[in-house]
Amino acid sequence: MHWVDHATGSPGGRNIPVRQPSPTLLRVFVGIVIALGMTQLVAGLTTLDSRDPARFYVYLLLSLVAASLRIRIPQAPYTISANYILVLLGLLEMSIEETLVLGSASAWVQTALDSRRRKTGVPAFFHIATVSLAIVLCNAVQNVCKAGQFPELLQLLMAATVLYVMNTIPVAVVTALGQGRRLSSAWQEGNFWAFPYYLAAAAFAITFRGIGGSFGWASILLLLTAAFVAYSGLHFYLGRLSAQKAHLERMAALHHRTIEALALAIEAKDQTGPLHLPRLRIYSVEIGREMGMREDELGALGAAALLHDVGKLAVPEHILSKPGRLTREEFEKIKIHPVVGAEILERVHFPYAVAPLVRHHHEKWNGCGYPDGLKGEAIPVGARILAAVDCLDVLISDRPYRKAIPFAGALEALKAQSGVSFDPQVVRIIESRHEEFEKRIVEQGQGGHPAATTTPGNSSKTCPVNSAAFDTGFASSIAAAGRETKDLLEVTQDLSPSLPLNQMLPMLARRLKRIVAFDAVVIYVNRETKLHAQLAWGDPVARLQGREVAFREGLAGWVAENHEPILNGDLALEADRAAGAAEPSKHCSALAVPLDGVEDLAGVLLLGRAGRDRFRRDDLRLLLSVSPKLGGFIENALQYEQATTSATTDFLTGLPNARALHARLDSEIARCRRLGGTLGVLVCDLDGFKLVNDRFGHLAGNSLLRAIAGALRQSVREYDYVARLGGDEFVILLPGLNDDDLHFKIAQLSQIVEEVSRQAAAGSPAPLLSNSPYDGAWPGRSTRSYSDATKAGPALCGLSIGQSRFPDDGNHAEALLTVADQRMYLGKQERKRALREMPKGYDFDWTSTTVH
């Protein structure tokens, strides 16, 4: 059998550092062992004198063969071979010098043939030296036993024990000094399994000794066949065991990788960050080990650390990625994920209890957690560990609803909740060992939190972060899918049909950039069978702003006519044709999709990027997925715009109605208060309009009203305001006009109405504004006398006007309108009185009325 080649790891991976490694002592110890061992070997070689050379060479050959035929023990860090038997036989039948050569030669063969742990240089000399020292000590013990006349079996058992101790103690000392561990801990690991093989070697040696005594030492050769058969059978059996062990290890590794892959997929969906799972696994398992959990419990804790949030598959995406504070109802939905996660994991049938840890990892030490309100030690210890570690990671990581806080601040927050939300023992372990845990994350290539691994006395020195090592292709794809869902949701989020199109469409364009990259955008709106470019931004489409396109004309017209998208058309040609450019612009790829509303086509979306074939099929897919929503919003906005216009516009005259008038009047008064200006308010009423309806009919009256409304609108400045109050009454707002200009404007308006009504009486009810006697000039600048127009014939209507001024006649809308209306009424009464006093057949001059 081969002496033990011990591994340096501990059972279950538990490494308990109790002191710092001692490299100096290690080198001294190794040097002493090599010096002593090699001295004994050299001394043996110089005094070698075999009394039976034939037996010596046969035993030497058998020892070398036995050293090369080794069997590795499953689940043990060493191998066995039959050379132990020959070493013990040499102690019984040969001199110490011959046994030294035999043992050292077999040790050299073992170091040369060990492919897994090949020793060269100092390790090889150390191994040969320990064998030499073991043989010398065994010989000394055997001599003592012979002097005491002990039986040969007892002599061999004592020698085998010394051989066992001398082969294990030096290796344990090297391990203890090199790793800074206790000698007893380093020696106990795996050595107990080796001792029975040393005792078995002693038994075989005494058996061969008996056979040799009866039939001569050469009879041992007759046993080679039996030994080879036994070796082959044992090798085959142990090989099967090794194969089964390897299969179980592969299945366990596959099981673990499956858990990790599922956990990665869940975490990618939740977008918690690449270090969330490694930190939870390392912290949780190490804390559980320090709290004395068994290996099966640690396995359950490791699996639960990976799968604790599997229940979030049942939580809607918009809640998980919500940037703000959750509502009470949303938080209640979040609270189902531990229960759902436990139900999912119960179907897996783990060999250890994982589901309870997942179910209770949101319980609190004071009993205020969920889902079951467990308190204190009633909470499974693994769930208590997960709760504290998960909270720590959440605090130091960026989340959609909150930015990360410094590691020191997270530790303080954790300590503040010790005994309230978290197990105090767990919090103490995190506080004392978090630097070690973060370094462990770095050692495993996951990256760590720099603030948690700062070297004492040097705050600028931190451990490197390599979070990309944890990132995987499928995780990135899942995270991208989650981001796509979020971006698609945000494209139309918070949009309201009450927004004017000129505000809503730029907002839509900005949000579209989150899902599709573009350099230019045009959004056409369907207005009465024509496409109107409501928004045009970027080169070369900025020139399209306000352009109208017929169906079938250009890219947008073709899309509108056929309700089919266009991928990578030439947007430059579209823009050049619209602008009449002589030289074509550079090629610009176009992506155009129809925006269908509920009832009809709402518009066309046209995106552009410089270059050829810049848009992908995936870009088209994304636009088509949001185009129905965009079309619905635009259609609703158009309907709202139409309804708003109808609510504030007089249908007959196209002027603002009474509702719009009051809003504008309030706005003008507020502006005057703010800037200290003046405002003139005119209330106008047509005189004689009822006679027009009675004589010519309401259609003619409506036509006259439209003509007068147009003339009034044309006769004022651009920033003046003309509205129809109702019936044949109009209101005109004239900001900043002085008293003289105001009175002249009143007379001018009366003359304009008289002229329009004269044209109507002559058979031209619709005024030709280009031929109107008012040429747009201010009072005192007119090139034509209005008194000349009165000689053309009788006027059908006149105009009674009452005026008021802010702030002289009132400081709010109702007061100004009331004063102007009263003055208009007084003027109308005077007109009627003058008409009654007139001789019969006299043509009344509507413009001769005094201004009030």
In a domain, residue 121? The reply is yes
pLDDT, residue 358, reads 93
Is the omega angle on the peptide bond into residue 123 within 30 degrees of 0, that is, cis?
no
535 and 602 in a single domain? The answer is yes
Among 431, 465, 500, the domain boundary falls at 431
Residue 624 to residues 55, 565, 596, 605, 637, Cα–Cα distance (Å): 92, 9, 10, 10, 20
Report the percentage of the chain scoring pLDDT > 90.
19
Residues found in the chain? 852
Q: How far apart are CA 765 and CA 700, in angstroms?
A: 8
Mean pLDDT of 182-190: 68
Does the pLDDT of residue 212 top 60, yes or no? Answer: yes
In a domain, residue 454? The reply is no
Helical pair 122-147 and 152-179, crossing angle rounded to 10 deg: 150
685 and 606 in a single domain? The answer is no
Mean pLDDT of 257-263: 73
3-class DSSP assignment, residue 588 = strand
Mean pLDDT of 746-764: 82
pLDDT, residue 779, reads 34
Rounded to a whole number of angstroms, the CA Rg of the chain reads 50
**Mean pLDDT estimate for the chain:** 77
741 and 633 in a single domain? The answer is no
In a domain, residue 695? The reply is yes
pLDDT, residue 363, reads 94
pTM over 0.75: no
In a domain, residue 721? The reply is yes
Mean pLDDT of 565-590: 73
Which of the two residues, 196 and 691, has the higher pLDDT score?
691
Lowest-pLDDT range, 353-357, 420-424, 544-548?
Answer: 544-548
Q: Which of 168, 145, 147, 153 is nearest to 88 (CA)?
A: 153
Query: pLDDT grade, residue 615 (50/70/90)?
Result: very high
8 A C-beta contact, residue 282 and residue 306: no
In a domain, residue 223? The reply is no
Domain count, the chain: 4
Which stretch of DSSP H or E encloses residue 600? none
500 and 382 in a single domain? The answer is no
Please name the amino acid found at residue 249.
E
pLDDT, residue 242, reads 74
Q: How far apart are CA 604 and CA 593, in angstroms?
A: 6
89 and 28 in a single domain? The answer is yes
Domain span including residue 320: 252-431
Query: What residues contact 576, with CB distance under 8 A and at least 6 apart?
Result: 540, 584, 585
8 A C-beta contact, residue 32 and residue 228: no
Query: pLDDT grade, residue 494 (50/70/90)?
Result: low
796 and 690 in a single domain? The answer is yes
Q: How far apart are CA 646 and CA 661, in angstroms?
A: 14
636 and 695 in a single domain? The answer is no
Query: pLDDT grade, residue 475 (50/70/90)?
Result: low
Lowest-pLDDT range, 265-274, 407-416, 507-516, 633-642?
Answer: 265-274
Q: How far apart are CA 421 and CA 390, in angstroms?
A: 12
In a domain, residue 628? The reply is yes
Q: How far apart are CA 816 and CA 800, in angstroms?
A: 17
270 and 412 in a single domain? The answer is yes
66 and 93 in a single domain? The answer is yes
418 and 517 in a single domain? The answer is no
Does the pLDDT of residue 531 top 80, yes or no? Answer: yes
Among 615, 648, 681, the domain boundary falls at 648
CATH number at residue 787: 3.30.70.270
pLDDT, residue 835, reads 67
8 A C-beta contact, residue 737 and residue 795: no
In a domain, residue 42? The reply is yes
pLDDT, residue 464, reads 33
Does the pLDDT of residue 460 top 70, yes or no? Answer: no
Among 648, 666, 695, the domain boundary falls at 648
Query: pLDDT grade, residue 80 (50/70/90)?
Result: low
Helices (H), 368-454: 381-395, 407-416, 424-443
86 and 168 in a single domain? The answer is yes
CATH number at residue 31: 1.10.1760.20
Joined together, the tokens standing for residue 797 give: 């209507």
663 and 644 in a single domain? The answer is no
Query: What residues contact 484, with CB distance under 8 A and at least 6 apart?
Result: 515, 622
CATH number at residue 613: 3.30.450.40
In a domain, residue 453? The reply is no
